Amino acid sequence: MVKILILILTLSFTFNAHAAESNKGPMPKHEWSFNGITGTFDRAALQRGFKVYREVCAGCHSMKLLYYRDLLDIGFSEAQVKAIAAEYDVLDGPNDEGEMFERPARPADRFVNPYLNDNEARANNNGAYPPDLSVITKARRYGEDYIYNLLMGYEEAPEGVEVGNGMYYNKWMDGNQIAMPAPILDGSVDYDDGTDNNAAQLSEDVVTFLKWSAEPELEVRKNLGIKVILFFLVLGTIVYLAKNRLWREVH
Ligand code: HEC
């Protein structure tokens, strides 16, 4: 029985490794503050990541599942959230005259979409659709590691590889061609907290923000996990001691 299990496990690992290695090599793993059972989100990194999203990615990508008030979660104050929301306009209405009107967004509004509809999004991106980023770390294999590598994976196309019109060579994209121009370069975004704004740091921060968006409950979940493990350790010890005591006389 044990042998069969070991065989199945080894086989599945080998197959997985093969799938990952086809044409691009294994997906490099990045060190994330939220990895491991005690992992947490670094609030400063989340706020910087939001800045990168807002100043770079939000030009093309929506994050429809987020509300401005969710930003309270990553350490912004109510006044800051109000001010951030107010920088965007949303379509509201109809008013008493039956007309739709624009007003500044409020904390209870969803993140404003860069395009009016999907067709406009495609028309502006050479026919390709920039996917919504709300849960993108869950929607792609290798999640945050893939997205980090993708952002850092723009290269000269190797000799003999023809890159299509309006396409860019990227080591990690399926088929190695992507319709998104390299969004992050050294210094693309200025940080106010003195953190170095090289491309690797900007990418790490924005991916941390995307991970939080997809799994805002991550810290609570991990915290609960530790408590459950401790609980069972304590319970297990008590049961074990009780058992020894109860059976002491019987031999
Ligand atoms: C100029 C517009 C533009 C900007 C700015 C932009 N993107 Fe994109 N992005 C696109 C388009 C278009 C696609 C679809 C590419 C394709 O399907 O070939 C895309 C695709 C993606 C994908 C999905 C790749 C896949 O596996 O399908 C991710 C993840 C992504 N972008 C993240 C980001 C992040 C993070 C930023 C900000 C740092 C950003 N993008 C900035 C246009 C943009």
Residue 5: per-residue pLDDT: 64
Residues 117-136 pLDDT 10s: 999 999 999 999 999 999 99
Answer yes or no: is pLDDT of 142 > 80. yes
Q: Report the atom number in ligand 1 closest to the C-alpha of 125.
A: 12
Rounded alpha-carbon distances, angstroms, from residue 114 to 55, 65, 88, 196: 12, 14, 10, 28
Establish whether residue 143 lines the binding site of ligand 1, counting it when its CB lies within 6 angstroms of any ligand atom: no
Averaged pLDDT for residues 242-248: 93
Averaged pLDDT for residues 97-108: 96
Residue type at 70? D
Answer yes or no: is pLDDT of 144 > 90. yes
Establish whether residue 85 lines the binding site of ligand 1, counting it when its CB lies within 6 angstroms of any ligand atom: no
Establish whether residue 199 lines the binding site of ligand 1, counting it when its CB lies within 6 angstroms of any ligand atom: no
Establish whether residue 189 lines the binding site of ligand 1, counting it when its CB lies within 6 angstroms of any ligand atom: no
* Nearest partner of 208 among 1, 13, 40, judged by Cα: 40
Residue type at 195? T
Establish whether residue 182 lines the binding site of ligand 1, counting it when its CB lies within 6 angstroms of any ligand atom: no
Establish whether residue 59 lines the binding site of ligand 1, counting it when its CB lies within 6 angstroms of any ligand atom: yes
pLDDT class for 11, splitting at 50, 70, 90? low
Instruction: Report the phi/psi class of residue 115: left, alpha or beta, with left for phi > 0 and alpha for psi in -120 to 50.
Output: beta
Q: How far does the centroid of ligand 1 lie from the alpha carbon of residue 156, in Å?
A: 18
Provide CB contacts within 8 A for 67, sequence distance 6+.
107, 108, 109, 110, 111
| End-to-end Cα spacing for the chain | 33
| Better-predicted residue by pLDDT, 166 or 25 | 166
Answer yes or no: is pLDDT of 21 > 50. no
Residue to mutate (ligand 1; options 48, 52, 53, 57; most atoms within 8 A of CB): 57
